[in-house]
Amino acid sequence: MQRKESVSRTSWRSGVAQRPLLCQDVVIQNAVYTGNLEALQRLFPRGSTANLVIEPQGGDMRWVARGEGLWSLTYEQELTTPLHITASRGFADCLDLLLQRGANVDLAPGGVTALHESCENCQPECTKLLLAYGANPSAVSEDGLMPLHVCTAPESLECAKHLLEYGASITGHSLEENDTPLHVAARHGLPDHVDLYLSYGAALDDRNDEGFTPMNSACSQPQEPQDLERYFTVCQKLLEAGASIHIMDQDKHTPLHMACKNVNPEIVDLLLAKGACVNDMDYGGEAPMHHVLKVVCYKASHQPERVVRALLNYGSIRVWPGALPTVLKHCSASPRTIEVLLNAYSRLKVTDAWREAVSAEVFEKHKDFYESVFSLAMRPRSLQHLARCRVRTFLEGRLHKVVPNLDLPTFIKNYLLLDYRGYVH
CATH number at residue 277: 1.25.40.20
Residues 193 and 312 in one domain: yes
Residues 222 and 304 in one domain: yes
What are the CA-CA distances from residue 49 to residues 37, 115, 380 (Å)? Answer: 16, 20, 88
Three-class DSSP category at 72: strand
10 Å CB burial of residue 355 (0-12, 13-18, 19+) is middle
Q: Taking 50 as the threshold, does the pLDDT of residue 391 lie above it? A: yes
Mean of pLDDT values over 300-313: 96
The band of 131, judged by pLDDT with boundaries at 50, 70 and 90, is: very high
Average per-residue pLDDT in the chain? 90
Between helix 335-342 and helix 304-313 the angle, nearest 10°, is 10
Residues 98 and 157 in one domain: yes
Residues 51 and 87 in one domain: yes
Q: Which of 154, 169, 184 is the last residue of a domain?
A: 169
Residues 174 and 49 in one domain: no
In sign, the C-alpha dihedral spanning 312, 316, 320, 326 is negative
Q: Taking 80 as the threshold, does the pLDDT of residue 300 lie above it? A: yes
Q: Taking 70 as the threshold, does the pLDDT of residue 61 lie above it? A: no
Q: Which of 281, 316, 351 is the last residue of a domain?
A: 316
Residues 312 and 322 in one domain: no
pLDDT at 1: 30
In sign, the C-alpha dihedral spanning 102, 106, 109, 113 is positive
Residues 282 and 304 in one domain: yes
The band of 76, judged by pLDDT with boundaries at 50, 70 and 90, is: low
Mean of pLDDT values over 379-405: 94
Residues 96 and 226 in one domain: no
Q: Give the end-to-end CA distance of the chain in Å, rounded to a whole number.
A: 83
Three-class DSSP category at 102: coil
Residues 33 and 114 in one domain: yes
Q: Taking 90 as the threshold, does the pLDDT of residue 55 lie above it? A: no
Residue 264 and residue 272 in contact, taking contact as beta carbons nearer than 8 Å: no
Q: Which candidate, 130, 140, 142, 139, places its Cα nearest to that of 105?
A: 130
Residues 152 and 11 in one domain: yes
Residue 207, domain extent: 170-316
Residues 352 and 243 in one domain: no
pLDDT at 59: 55
Distance between CA 225 and CA 293 in Å, rounded? 18
Q: Which of 48-52, 130-134, 259-263, 302-306 has the lowest mean pLDDT?
A: 48-52
Q: How many domains does the chain have?
A: 3
The band of 11, judged by pLDDT with boundaries at 50, 70 and 90, is: very low
Q: Which of 272, 291, 316 is the last residue of a domain?
A: 316
Q: Which of 20-29, 256-265, 367-376 has the lowest mean pLDDT?
A: 20-29
Between 50 and 259, name the one with better pLDDT. 259
Residues 189 and 305 in one domain: yes
pLDDT at 28: 86
The band of 60, judged by pLDDT with boundaries at 50, 70 and 90, is: low
pTM of the model: 0.86
